[in-house]
Chain A
């Protein structure tokens, strides 16, 4: 057992103080995850400390935060791999409700804007839709997004404009565009080609870098851009990959 220094963002709307950093000495053991360290603080040092968590296995997307210079899931991060002092902040671009808890409403509102549900092309058959193994492969990684918000926090464009749909929503849009069962491609492309859609993206790659599920929202956005380009200018087809 050893102790590690943590510097943690604190804010409580009720206590009249400005947001600040508080230092904690945490007793860490080998194999301890950051999430366990946060619980250690809450249980042993300060019961008012607030953060979100649920699955503790990098699957539910609750615990995304800014950890020592990058975004990631607390439950998936081993304390041993962090250089002390470990600096923890909440996700950026979303209003802080308390400590590490942010208001995810804009994040989910953006998701809703892209109509994140299957709009079938054909009437459903009696059994399942036919989908070939190759067609299923096209959506292989896009469907693994856990909507944790790491990418959204890391995206400088999302800072500039809260209406920017964001990597998560655009990735989800591609998940449906590329789904052989979906029949609303034109409508979806029109949504993401809008003022707050894909063309706001500056190809900065932070979203791809931070995604804890190793997904590639940047690539998804590129792909959507290309699909829109080809739709508007069919002669571009040989020059771009959709």
Chain B
């Protein structure tokens, strides 16, 4: 019940307040949850890999696939967004510059874009030429 209430409410809020603030908050929450999910899976993968050399190699090769590289790109974008937006919220509170919300949103988008471009320029080639990167890592 409660869960349905939360989902319905969130949907409603997004619909009634189609503002930057609502979306960035929503995204922040989603990315936070994704990170949480990632962190646990990550632990689990590492934990299960930590059972001798063979298990390690097997686990690693299982994730060294185009699909996982693709997900990695997603992960890094999620991290960047959560990080940049989170820092901006912290800054907003501590420095009390809330009257400059618009400029901060622009800054968040810019910083996020720069980080994204830089990391994509490193990661995209890896996605299309898996042999290079696996070779490098393995």
Residue-wise, chain B 98-116 has the 8 Å CB interface mask toward A (1 for contact) of 1101000000000000000
B94's contact among A204, A206, A209, A240, by CB below 8 Å, is which?
Answer: A240
B12 contacts chain A at the CB level, 8 A cutoff: yes
Residue-wise, chain B 27-38 has the 8 Å CB interface mask toward A (1 for contact) of 010000000000
Point out the residues of chain B lying under 8 angstroms from A226, CB to CB. 93-94, 96
Contact B98 A209 (CB under 8 A): no
Q: Closest CB of chain A to B94's CB: distance in Å?
A: 5
B122 contacts chain A at the CB level, 8 A cutoff: no
A105 contacts chain B at the CB level, 8 A cutoff: no
The complex places the Cα of A92 from the Cα of B21 at a distance, in Å, of 17
The complex places the Cα of A89 from the Cα of B16 at a distance, in Å, of 9
Contact B17 A154 (CB under 8 A): yes
The complex places the Cα of A219 from the Cα of B17 at a distance, in Å, of 19
Point out the residues of chain A lying under 8 angstroms from B9, CB to CB. 156, 159-160
Point out the residues of chain B lying under 8 angstroms from A223, CB to CB. 96
Contact B19 A239 (CB under 8 A): no
The complex places the Cα of A71 from the Cα of B101 at a distance, in Å, of 18
A53 contacts chain B at the CB level, 8 A cutoff: no
Contact A206 B21 (CB under 8 A): yes
Contact B6 A160 (CB under 8 A): yes
Contact A222 B21 (CB under 8 A): no
Q: Which of A70, A71, A203, A223 has the most CB of B within 10 A?
A: A203
B89 contacts chain A at the CB level, 8 A cutoff: yes
Contact A219 B96 (CB under 8 A): yes
Contact A69 B13 (CB under 8 A): no
A156's contact among B17, B20, B94, B96, by CB below 8 Å, is which?
Answer: B17
Contact B17 A159 (CB under 8 A): no
Contact B17 A216 (CB under 8 A): no
Contact residues of B between 10 and 68, Cβ < 8 Å to A: 10, 12-13, 16-22, 24-25, 28
A241 contacts chain B at the CB level, 8 A cutoff: yes
Point out the residues of chain B lying under 8 angstroms from A209, CB to CB. 19, 21
Contact A205 B96 (CB under 8 A): no
The complex places the Cα of A92 from the Cα of B18 at a distance, in Å, of 14
A202 contacts chain B at the CB level, 8 A cutoff: yes
Residue-wise, chain B 61-78 has the 8 Å CB interface mask toward A (1 for contact) of 000000000000000000
A33 contacts chain B at the CB level, 8 A cutoff: no
Q: Which of B10, B13, B18, B94 has the most CB of A within 10 A?
A: B13
- Whether A205 contacts B19 in the complex (CB less than 8 A), given A156-B13, A159-B12, comes out as yes
B95 contacts chain A at the CB level, 8 A cutoff: yes
- Whether A66 contacts B16 in the complex (CB less than 8 A), given A156-B22, A208-B101, comes out as yes
A62 contacts chain B at the CB level, 8 A cutoff: no
A110 contacts chain B at the CB level, 8 A cutoff: no
A225 contacts chain B at the CB level, 8 A cutoff: yes
Contact residues of A between 171 and 220, Cβ < 8 Å to B: 202-206, 208-209, 216, 218-219
Point out the residues of chain A lying under 8 angstroms from B98, CB to CB. 203, 205, 208, 216, 218-219, 222
Question: 10 closest pairs, A vs B, by CB?
Answer: A205-B21, A219-B98, A241-B96, A156-B13, A204-B21, A204-B25, A240-B94, A222-B93, A218-B98, A159-B9
Interface CB pairs A-B, < 8 A, 9? A156-B25, A159-B12, A202-B28, A203-B89, A204-B21, A204-B24, A204-B25, A218-B101, A241-B96
Other 20 A-B pairs with CB < 8 A, given A205-B19, A219-B96, A240-B96:
A69-B16, A89-B16, A154-B17, A156-B17, A202-B25, A202-B28, A203-B89, A205-B98, A205-B101, A206-B19, A209-B19, A209-B21, A222-B96, A222-B98, A223-B96, A225-B93, A226-B93, A226-B94, A241-B94, A241-B96
